[in-house]
Amino acid sequence: MADIANKYPDNVPGKYYVDNQCIDCDLCRETAPNNFTRSDDGGYSYVYKQPSSPDEENQCKEAKEGCPVEAIGDNGEAAAAAA
C-alpha cells in the first residue's frame, strides 16, 4: 500500500500520488496517460495532473488497482481535506 509519507515530491497536490515503491513499470502511464508521467532523472512515475473528469478518475483508479507494487495512493491532500 502506498505511503503518503514516502510520496515523490514531483507529484502535484491532490488525491493521487506515487510513492518510492515505484519500479517504473509504465503501467500507470499507459492506463492514465493524462495524469501520470515519468521522471527521466529518477526512473519512476508520478502524478503530474490530478484527474479532472470522470474518465480520468476511472483511469487513475484503474492504474492504482493495477500497480504491481502498490505504489499509487489515493489518500492525498484533496482526499484528506474532504474527510
Going from N- to C-terminal start, the domains of the chain cover: 4-82
Q: Which CATH architecture has domain 4-82?
A: 2-Layer Sandwich (3.30)
pLDDT digits (tens, 9 = 90+) for 26-82: 999 999 999 999 999 999 999 999 999 999 999 999 999 999 999 999 998 855 455
Confidence (pTM): 0.91
DSSP symbols for 26-83: SHHHHH-TTTEEEETTTTEEEESS---SHHHHHHHHHHHHH-TT--EES-SHHHHHH-
Q: What is the mean pLDDT of residues 7-24?
A: 97
